[in-house]
Amino acid sequence: WITQEGSSFCYLFSKTRTTWQDSKLQCNAINADLVTIDSQQEQNFVRTVARGSFVWLGFTDLRTEGRWIWESS
């Protein structure tokens, strides 16, 4: 787990490759969510820590195909 300075959030960057759905289920199992990017600062933090690795976000079009929303909204 990694924290961002000045933030109350913790981030888990896993090296295990899974599908978006499996990643979401794993987060939910520990009462967590896939990341929602709320600011440029947070985007820069995630990008820097991930170092070019693949990252799943809580951004989805599951409800309506082609209409992307943050799951937290």
pLDDT per residue as tens digits for the range 35-57:
999 999 999 999 999 998 889 99
> What is 2-70's CATH number?
3.10.100.10
pLDDT per residue as tens digits for the range 15-42:
889 999 999 999 999 999 999 999 999 9
Closest Cα to residue 62, out of 33, 24, 26, 28?
Answer: 24
pTM for the model: 0.81
Alpha carbon distance 6, 64 (integer Å): 35
Checking if the pLDDT of 72 tops 90, the result is: no
Spatial neighbors of 68 by CB under 8 A, at least 6 apart, are 59, 60, 61
Please say whether the beta carbons of 11 and 46 come within 8 A: yes
Alpha carbon distance 15, 34 (integer Å): 15
Binning pLDDT at 50, 70 and 90, where does residue 5 land? confident
Who wins on pLDDT, 34 or 72? 34
